[in-house]
Chains A and B, each alone.
Chain A
């Protein structure tokens, strides 16, 4: 069975500059097999985050269908929330609580009594157990927000631009963590505009622009097909999405 299935997803927002609606997501379909890492690549404003938010139940689906583990998100958002783990782009937490207290709190939201030590050990933050999130570095913060997403032992982990803004060491460190989680049997879907990340981590990538998936496949196959000359995903990406600047 496919762990995640998305068919013809659409989402429009009112455009502040004109009367018309702006299509943020325009008919997206893909499926995710169990224990894969799936990457959605695209420039800023391509609709990556909106796509994830619709599957997470955070944003209403205008049209189309999304199901996690066979559960329709629109019909039963709470059942879906129970089995997914989510890391959002912004990762701020309540003030003046320690990592330990935050993890216990997140566990309670799933009626789980979690072991904060075990979770923090997984993301290599055990020595920070009594620190506050604001005392963490960028990479540590990202690892902590992944720990928060693991409190319910999710079937699918959603990571929205997990490495944006991290230095190379922190980035590689996070990639290792994502790979480990995948090896332990977790299905992961992530968004990124980092080609290296997609090439390095993902079993399958979709290149997205202007609300649509332009192309989908195994990174190596895509490079083989579209950029035999340089042999990297970045050129595939640029040749598909164009070189003009995005906001």
Chain B
């Protein structure tokens, strides 16, 4: 159980943190900038800009254009061939359609020409499908037919998955890692440099008490900071957390424990403030790139995926994402939540192994 000394120590560490306004603001700065950027840019995909040159100017061609305008996918711009070609080349529009003069003459109609930038093949096929749809419906009108088949889209997951929904759990995991490693690792190095650990060592304090004091205080700090960022994201970006908040916060607590312990080990390994920065960078930077904070791990080369999945940040990111995006429970013991628990044990072990009071305090 937690002793009164450990509680007193954690209160002291909290006090120290709360009196350092600069550190508080700074730790919220990065995630809030991210969220701010997303809330202003809007994360919905932009509609395609399509140019149209209507050479026929007939009821048919206006009906065709009207049909196209109904598509959410497009925004239409009128213009003539030369101008539209120039805009396409400069990347201002995504493609343009030329409606031939004889659009009405169904019998010997020239092909409708759709000009695209060949490097944008994916968009081109989407646009072409929409044009086809529009043409089919015009044809039906002309021939007085009603559609034989109809398709209604029904989202199986019945929810919108935007990039920000995917990104947020990654960002929070990233935040947990940074705050935790800084909270234990950087503080230890600083306290040692100033001889504070040495002063503590000559009292009967046990290293366990010191570590638990820091862990409790930092845990509270991380939880509050994370909640601030999360609630701002919920309010501004209309994020959906599908799973239970209990699962979500349990995963957060386990993740914080992992990185606090890793921080203790790193802080014990690096002897100086100059020394700890590269060491921490070496541990955190590859994980930020690899562990699926910004894009899914499944987009990585298949050969290295198993290694990436076994990184500590990956287990935190995947667990949070499963809970937030897929509504999983932490207690369903998926691969990532088991990974999370295994990492807590590994991190605990290495922190005990490296955080030797006598060595660290000197």
For residue A57, which residues in chain B have a CB less than 8 angstroms away from its CB?
202
Specify the chain B residue showing the minimal Cβ separation from A151. B203
Cα of A105 to Cα of B298 in the assembled complex, Å: 50
For residue A94, which residues in chain B have a CB less than 8 angstroms away from its CB?
12, 16, 191, 196
Pair B202/A86 contact, Cβ less than 8 Å: yes
Asked if A75 is an interface residue, CB under 8 A from chain B, the answer is: no
Specify the chain A residue showing the minimal Cβ separation from B4. A108
Which residues of chain B from 306 to 362 have any CB-CB distance to chain A below 8 Å in the complex?
358, 361-362
Pair B16/A97 contact, Cβ less than 8 Å: yes
Asked if B296 is an interface residue, CB under 8 A from chain A, the answer is: no
> B239: shortest Cβ distance to chain A, in Å?
35
For residue A82, which residues in chain B have a CB less than 8 angstroms away from its CB?
204
For residue A81, which residues in chain B have a CB less than 8 angstroms away from its CB?
202-204
How many of A's residues come within 8 Å of B, CB to CB?
28
**Chain B positions 97 through 118: 1 when the CB is less than 8 Å from some CB of chain A, otherwise 0:** 0000000000000000000000
Asked if A96 is an interface residue, CB under 8 A from chain B, the answer is: yes
A101/B15 contact (C-beta < 8 A), A95-B20, A96-B20 known: yes
Cα of A246 to Cα of B361 in the assembled complex, Å: 27
Pair B204/A105 contact, Cβ less than 8 Å: no
A93/B199 contact (C-beta < 8 A), A101-B15, A108-B5, A111-B5 known: yes
Cα of A58 to Cα of B204 in the assembled complex, Å: 11
Pair A109/B5 contact, Cβ less than 8 Å: yes
Asked if A91 is an interface residue, CB under 8 A from chain B, the answer is: yes
Main secondary structure of the interface of A (DSSP, over half): loop
A58/B361 contact (C-beta < 8 A), A81-B204, A96-B16 known: yes
Cα of A92 to Cα of B288 in the assembled complex, Å: 36
> A74: shortest Cβ distance to chain B, in Å?
12
> B15: shortest Cβ distance to chain A, in Å?
7
For residue B361, which residues in chain A have a CB less than 8 angstroms away from its CB?
58
> B300: shortest Cβ distance to chain A, in Å?
42
Residue among A56, A109, A110 with the most chain B CB within 10 A?
Answer: A109
**Chain A positions 126 through 163: 1 when the CB is less than 8 Å from some CB of chain B, otherwise 0:** 00000000000000000000001000100000000000
Which residues of chain B from 184 to 233 have any CB-CB distance to chain A below 8 Å in the complex?
191, 194-196, 198-205
Cα of A101 to Cα of B16 in the assembled complex, Å: 11
Cα of A90 to Cα of B361 in the assembled complex, Å: 13
> B250: shortest Cβ distance to chain A, in Å?
31
Pair B12/A97 contact, Cβ less than 8 Å: yes
Cα of A105 to Cα of B203 in the assembled complex, Å: 11
**Chain B positions 1 through 36: 1 when the CB is less than 8 Å from some CB of chain A, otherwise 0:** 000110011001001100110000000000000000
For residue A90, which residues in chain B have a CB less than 8 angstroms away from its CB?
194-195, 198-199
Cα of A90 to Cα of B196 in the assembled complex, Å: 9
Specify the chain B residue showing the minimal Cβ separation from A148. B199
Asked if A78 is an interface residue, CB under 8 A from chain B, the answer is: yes
For residue A96, which residues in chain B have a CB less than 8 angstroms away from its CB?
15-16, 19-20
Pair A58/B201 contact, Cβ less than 8 Å: yes
Pair B196/A109 contact, Cβ less than 8 Å: no
Specify the chain A residue showing the minimal Cβ separation from B202. A86
A88/B202 contact (C-beta < 8 A), A58-B362, A111-B5 known: yes
Cross-chain contact of B195 among A56, A88, A148 (Cβ < 8 A): A88
Pair B195/A109 contact, Cβ less than 8 Å: no
For residue B15, which residues in chain A have a CB less than 8 angstroms away from its CB?
96-97, 101
Asked if A175 is an interface residue, CB under 8 A from chain B, the answer is: no
Pair A105/B202 contact, Cβ less than 8 Å: no
Which residues of chain A from 52 to 66 have any CB-CB distance to chain B below 8 Å in the complex?
56-60
> B37: shortest Cβ distance to chain A, in Å?
33
Pair B16/A60 contact, Cβ less than 8 Å: no
Specify the chain B residue showing the minimal Cβ separation from A95. B16
Pair B203/A88 contact, Cβ less than 8 Å: no
> B1: shortest Cβ distance to chain A, in Å?
16
> B141: shortest Cβ distance to chain A, in Å?
77
For residue B19, which residues in chain A have a CB less than 8 angstroms away from its CB?
95-96
Specify the chain B residue showing the minimal Cβ separation from A82. B204
Which A residues contact B (CB, under 8 angstroms)? 56-60, 78, 81-82, 84, 86, 88, 90-97, 101, 105-106, 108-111, 148, 152
Which B residues contact A (CB, under 8 angstroms)? 4-5, 8-9, 12, 15-16, 19-20, 191, 194-196, 198-205, 358, 361-362
Chosen A-B contacts, 21 in total, with CB atoms closer than 8 Å, are: A58-B202, A58-B361, A78-B204, A81-B203, A84-B202, A86-B199, A90-B194, A90-B195, A90-B199, A92-B199, A94-B191, A95-B19, A96-B16, A96-B19, A97-B12, A97-B16, A105-B9, A105-B12, A108-B4, A109-B203, A109-B204
